[in-house]
Structure 1
Amino acid sequence: MVDINSQRRMLLVHAHPDDETIGTGATMARYVDEGAHVTLVTCTQGEQGEILVPELAHLAPERDDALGEHRAKELAAAMAELGVTDYRFLGGPGRYRDSGMVWGDEGRRAVAPESVRPDSFWAADLLRAADHLVEVIREVRPHVMVTYDENGGYGHPDHIQAHRVAMYALLLAGVDSYRRDLGEAWPVPKVYWTAMPRSVIQQSIEMYKDHPDSPFGEAKSADDFGFVVDDADVTAVVDGSSWLGRKAAAMRAHRTQIDVDGPFFALSDNMGQEIWGKEHFRLVHGTPGDVDPETGWETDLFAGLEP
């Protein structure tokens, strides 16, 4: 149930179950605790994901093809950890299938497979998919919307498609004469794209270069990763360090996708909090509010909006 009287309403658009927790989990938990209404729209059930739990290997597409339903349950468990009660799948569960991906650009960037199923999100009709989100936008009436940049972060086709759908729906939802049957028009005041600043990754690589469980492997430069953005393009940071425990618990809920013995869970010191507890964004629509004088970044995604 959407509390349209809430003075702070946020809508996040992500591609697969687990994306929301990895990229914005601390932000979601923080704003829930601060009284905001947080809505998550996930575009696919992640049917093509790699399964990290051997005893669940039978869920794979080439066997039982039941991973999507299982990941939907993982998503529900993760949302319980973050305190988010309003979460939906775009167009309903199973409407759009995970498109899969392969690695290109020498492993720095994901790309679409040579062929995808006709029911995959990558093959979806853009207007039809956007209309599903227009209906949600007009129902929730968010003050802030969050999604990926035009590269989908690291290039996954479903992330790119989520970006396209979100930005198209943003425009359509605010047009009074467009599809009145989908609800009353709502112009979203502020829109952010998730971002990972180059300096944060570079500093983190240096900090963890001698750490046996470094999440950066043998990388020596932030430019070894295709998802970094110039610091000058970053406009906001949400300090969710106090909610890092909740984020970690939500990540554990996505056990088919995230190695609970992996680097994230090994990094429990202050350096780990700096990397995983602070989530960065780029304001791409709307007017910025007050910024931190030292960084020039907003520290509240709702900054500048009328109460």
Structure 2
Amino acid sequence: MTASRRLVLVHAHPDDETLATGGVVARYTADPDTDVTVVTCTLGEEGEVIPAELAELAPGRADQLGGYRIGELARALAALGGPRHVYLGGVGRFRDSGMALAGDGGVRATTRADLHPRAFADPGRLAEETDLLVELLTELQPQVLVTYADDGGYGHPDHVRAHEITVAAASRVPSVEKVYFAVEGRSALDAGLAELAAEAGLPYRLPDPGELPSVPDETVTTRIDCTAHRAARVAAIRAHVTQAYLWEKDGGLVAYAMSNDVAQPLLDVEEYILSGAPEGLAETDLFEGIGS
């Protein structure tokens, strides 16, 4: 590591790095003065498989999805510029925990009752996972960390666990100055969805009100313009063939969907919340204030 700025992003599954933070990964990887490392905590073994020809990879069948997604992730990271990549504790040490619906009639996720013995969200593994991340961060010496908000965005137990270990590890690694949570502000998401709704031929259904997670605009502290890296982000989404559909319209409009066929806009500005930020903060750079 020779760059003066060091960024680490902690993600639960392959594809999260692209869908939640692909713009930031591409933007800062392209900066020669910034070292970027993506940490992936599981292989995403419990994901649903979209292409029918790959259905046998699913956990209830051959259970080979995790291995397949290693290749998808490698191609996605290459599209995003080739940041350093690490699996927490080594490849396959922790398994995707899967999820259950919260049972409130919405799309919130919660922890399954039948956790695999290697499940990332296993309560008994919290200390082990945190220690492994501390060890990695001590080696990498980042000033900035990125992960999910405390609810994981929509409650997925692996996203929640990634938040927990990142926040805990940050308090034990002196180099860390800032911790960010990837979010989508309500206004930006609504504007993106309105743009999709106005287009003919959208192959996915529009979400019901509140179906996609978002946060109040006033909680967003940091907005990163990733317009210049849209092509890289699109290529990275395409790499995750088992997990995402992609639709492009002439003129640059892009939508993607997961196995639920719910349309999501690809927004050019990624939004984040800085942990412990002062009221009214409005940043355009994750490294703002560092080294000054």
Normalised to the residue count of structure 1, the TM-score between the two structures is: 0.85
RMSD of the TM alignment (CA)? 2.2
Match of 1:266 among 241, 245, 248: 248
Letter in 2 for 1:103: L
2:98–2:111 contact (8 Å) kept in structure 1 = yes
Match of 1:208 among 178, 196, 199: 196
* Greater helix fraction, Structure 1 or Structure 2: 1
Match of 1:48 among 33, 46, 49: 46
2:106–2:211 contact (8 Å) kept in structure 1 = no
Offset at 1:40? 0.5
**Structure-2 separation of matches of 1:64 and 1:239:** 41
1:147–1:194 contact (8 Å) kept in structure 2 = yes
Q: 1:6-54 CA deviation, whole Å, 9 max, x = no partner?
A: 1111000000000000111111111111121100100100000111122
SS in 2 for 1:106: coil
**Residue aligning to 1:76:** 74
User: Where does structure 2 lack aligned partners over 5 or more consecutive residues?
Assistant: 256-264
User: Where does structure 1 lack aligned partners over 5 or more consecutive residues?
Assistant: 174-185
SS in 2 for 1:172: coil
User: Equivalences for 1:215-294 in 2 at 5 Å?
Assistant: 217-219=205-207, 221=209, 223-225=210-212, 227-260=213-246, 265-267=247-249, 269=251, 272=254, 275-285=266-276
Offset at 1:267? 4.6
Change (3 A) 1:190 1:285: farther
1:304 is the counterpart of 2:289? yes
SS in 2 for 1:88: strand
Change (3 A) 1:102 1:29: same
1:74–1:253 contact (8 Å) kept in structure 2 = yes
**Residue aligning to 1:39:** 37
**Residue aligning to 2:132:** 132
**Residue aligning to 2:149:** 149
Letter in 2 for 1:266: E
**Structure-1 separation of matches of 2:138 and 2:277:** 18
